[in-house]
Chain A
Amino acid sequence: MAGSSVAKDVGLRALLPLVKGFLFGVVGFLAGSGLVAGVRALMGQDPWKLGPLLVVGYIFGLVGWLLGVGMWDYWVREWFGLSRKEEPSAGWGRFFRFCTDHKVIGVQYLVTFMVVLLLGGLLAVGMRVELMTPGRTIMGPGTYNTLMSLHGILMIAVAVAIIIGGFANFLVPLMIGCEEIAFPRINALSYWLIPPVAVLLLATPLMGGFETGWTAYPPLAVTNPRGELLFLLAFITFGFSSILGGLNFLTTIITLRAPGMTWFRLPIFVWSILAAAMISLTATQFVGFSLLTDVLDRVAGTSFYNSTQGGKPLLFQHLFWFYSHPAVYIMILPAFGIVLEVVSHLARKPLFAYRWVAGSFLGIVGLSFIVWAHHLFTSGMDERLHLPFMVTTELISIPTGMVFLAGLGTLWMGRLQLNTPMLFALGFFFNFLIGGITGIYLADVPTDLHFQDSYFVVSHFHYTIMGGEIFALLAATYYWFPKITGRMFSERLGRLHFWWMFVTYNLTFIPMFWTGLHGMPRRVADYPATLADTNWWVSVFAFLLAASFLVFVWNMVYSWVRGPVASANPWQARTLEWLTSSPPPHGNFPREPEVVGSPYDYGIPGAVHAVVGAAAGASNGE
């Protein structure tokens, strides 16, 4: 039936765009660096100075890569008055090329960043091996610092991009009842900016590594080996991708809601993405600029941070944290959205205080822009700024607490189904409570002066992001697995994964609060010998924690290939994504859905959220 109307990739030819992208990238790199060498030679300067060659070569190489992988075929041709090529709308080749289908892009993001997550986890295992005993165990401090920095930036990238890029891409158009994201080609562009980031980061050890951690503070970032430059370029590229993603989600949610989908009928996950997208659209420019100033100080001879010339290194910290504090809300807001979604649908209860939660999300966004300097309490910033930033930081716990209580209120007296997604959501509440409460000591200036840069901070941060966001991510992965793959995972292995991970996770990180209080510094390969016993045990539990992911990966891979076929709505949930087949067809719904009520009216007889096609009569009333 489809015949010639559906272009399809066959066999290995499907990988052609990747090869083309790689070749164009190499050509672009050579052209860019050649250009710089030529210009410098003409101006009588040393043409082979590596910094400028790398930077300009990379920019040209990036453009070449994007054009080769599909931007030329499906986009840029139009700018030259040529007709756009038709995109294949079926076949596995779509996953390896510039594809504009939001569901394909969602899967691309999810799989890519799951791999990055495992990679970052392996690096953490390496760090824990070194930290098993005080003194040198297997590596020197330089190697350890590079390992630590790479672990940091890879995991930050996962935390920022995996839920928004993966789940939001797949789910937001479904949940608001439209067929495609607002700017599909920009969406594909934001994904294809990611592989160069990965290549640069993995190449950093070849150029001397980088030791600044993911925060790239000058002056170290300016004087570090050249691996730092690759890291800076990678981070800037990643930021650009994140901005384009935020732009796309905001536009989609503002303009493409289905008829009847009013603001207060939006599923709460969509609200959380809206809030997170506001931050990534705007604040990310600041981190881009801060990293750019590092690059300029390195290769263009400016003196932003060269204090002998009148530069001020503290400027970097202000610019950097103006993004990087709000960035934690890019990570955690979608996690809030996920657990509230899961809890409401699986406890069969209306979402408690829905409007307050939506308002709290926006409140968090607003407050997140005026708290950044709490990262500078010990940096020598003007002391008059301590009090205001302490107060604003603690104010955030009000909307955050409201979201937390809404979750508990939804669970209260619910008919809980204690299956894998629900278990992970409950794990989120437990871990995030610990993460949130320990955060108060870091927001308070008197205690922060002592805890700053100790393992207490490491543990606090991991409790919010790993115990919080990653647990929510796993809840989402199990919850939406049948929708995305059309197959069911093994519930037994899922529960095994949860308990194994939950127990080892807490055994790994609880002791870190203690080691931090006893003076163990973060980002250092060594520690006082008195902490040896505790650290040995922490490492052992960390290895067990890492091993729990083997169960997860096995369950996912095996179930995707061999799992039983899933029905359209295995959880009997009411949001729109469950009103279409699993996986949803190209175009999402057979007809445009019409929204007539709240998505959370569980237990209310006759309540309906949406109708898809009057004739079909498919609706989700009870």
Chain B
Amino acid sequence: MAAHPSAIGWVPRPRLFINRVGLWLFILSESFLFGAALSSRYYLQGAERPPEVNQLLGLAITTVLLASSLSAYRAEMSAAHGHLSGLLRNLAATIALGLLFLIGVGVEWHEAFIYFPPADPYGTVFFTTTGLHAFHVLTGVIALSIVLYLGRDGRFTHGNYWGVEGAVKYWHFVDVAWVFIYPTLYLVR
């Protein structure tokens, strides 16, 4: 028997479309996870929030994350238009901004341990939700780093750039999750 019977008589699979559907479904699934975390915050705490929450830092890390979404978008567009140096530059910028965001969360945690530690009711939801989100940021940074490493030889700028597109879409999703976490933890009253 031939090793690849599939070679004859089959319409080629719409690989890009399959990948996109799969990733969007994954994003849908993950949004339920963040939905669970956010609804727990309201169930346990209503809209209560201790006054010590660092508003300026919150605004700063939100800005950093939104900026990283812009650079991620620029990376994907560069790949789509075959612009290698733009791709690499913007991927590196996105990774740097992602790391900066993580440092911001670290500073935030350092302060939070003093004012509302994890045993505190607000601390419980704060640490859980930001921790869950930071974990997603970390995995996104890792994915982008892999894409940056693999993309040095220009493989993504010659037609097939799904690797870039997938990592970038995931990154944007992490940003969307933060768009809802930010008001829930910092603003609502």
Contacts and interface: CB of A to CB of B under 8 A. Distances in A.
Q: Do A and B bind each other?
A: yes
Interface of A: 1-2, 5-6, 79-81, 89, 178-179, 182-183, 243, 246-248, 250-251, 254-256, 259, 281-286, 288-290, 292-293, 296, 300-304, 306, 309-312, 315, 318-319, 322, 585-587, 590-592, 613
Given A288-B33, A591-B10, A303 B121 contact: yes
A251 B33 contact: no
Given A182-B18, A586-B1, A282 B28 contact: yes
13 contacts: A6-B1, A79-B150, A89-B3, A250-B25, A254-B21, A255-B14, A281-B25, A285-B30, A292-B128, A301-B119, A310-B44, A310-B121, A587-B6
A285 B29 CA distance: 7
Interface string B7-47: 01111011001100110011011101101110010011000
A435 to B, nearest CB: 28
Contacts of A1: 1
A81 B128 CA distance: 35
A592 B10 CA distance: 5
A591 B10 CA distance: 6
B18 A289 contact: no
A89 B5 CA distance: 12
Contacts of B10: 179, 591-592
Nearest to B32: A285
Contact of A585 (B1, B17, B25): B1
Contacts of B14: 255
A296 B22 CA distance: 30
Contact of A2 (B1, B44, B123): B1
Contacts of A79: 146, 150
Contact of A289 (B4, B33, B118): B33
A482 to B, nearest CB: 21
B164 to A, nearest CB: 14
Contacts of B35: 285
B119 A81 contact: no
Contacts of A178: 13
CB-based closest 7 A-B pairs = A591-B9, A310-B121, A289-B36, A285-B32, A587-B5, A285-B33, A302-B124
Contacts of A5: 2-3
Nearest to A78: B150
Contact of B25 (A2, A247, A310, A315): A247
Contacts of A319: 36, 40
Nearest to B146: A79
Contacts of B150: 79, 81
A246 B22 CA distance: 10
**Which interface class (under 10, 10 to 19, 20 to 34, 35 or more) fits B?**
35 or more
B111 interface: no
A312 B117 CA distance: 18
A282 B40 CA distance: 17
A304 B40 contact: yes
Interface of B: 1-6, 8-11, 13-14, 17-18, 21-22, 25-26, 28-30, 32-33, 35-37, 40, 43-44, 117-121, 123-124, 127-128, 146, 149-150
B146 A311 contact: no
Given A79-B146, A311-B44, A256 B13 contact: yes
B37 A587 contact: no
B121 A251 contact: no
A224 to B, nearest CB: 20
B5 A586 contact: yes
A272 B128 CA distance: 36
B43 A590 contact: no
A422 B150 CA distance: 55
A301 B29 contact: no
A591 B121 CA distance: 61
Contacts of B28: 281-282
Contacts of A613: 9
Contacts of A303: 118-121, 124
Counting chain A CB atoms within 10 Å of each CB, the highest count among B1, B26, B37 belongs to B1
A281 B3 contact: no
Contacts of B18: 182-183, 251, 255-256
Contact of A247 (B9, B26, B124): B26
Given A286-B32, A311-B121, A592-B9, 17 more contacts: A5-B3, A80-B149, A243-B29, A250-B25, A281-B25, A285-B32, A289-B40, A292-B128, A296-B118, A300-B118, A301-B118, A302-B124, A302-B128, A304-B40, A309-B119, A319-B40, A587-B6
B43 A315 contact: yes
Counting chain B CB atoms within 10 Å of each CB, the highest count among A178, A251, A304, A312 belongs to A251
A611 B30 CA distance: 40
Contacts of B6: 179, 587
B110 to A, nearest CB: 12
Nearest to B48: A310
B43 A312 contact: yes
Contacts of A315: 40, 43-44
A243 B27 CA distance: 12
B129 to A, nearest CB: 10
A251 B23 CA distance: 9
Contacts of B119: 301-303, 306, 309
Nearest to B5: A587
Contacts of B1: 1-2, 6, 585-586
A616 B94 CA distance: 55
Contacts of B21: 182, 250-251, 254-255
Given A281-B25, A309-B119, A315-B43, A2 B127 contact: no
A6 B44 contact: no
B44 A281 contact: no
Contacts of B37: 289
Nearest to A186: B22
A182 B24 CA distance: 14
Nearest to A277: B25
A319 B2 CA distance: 51
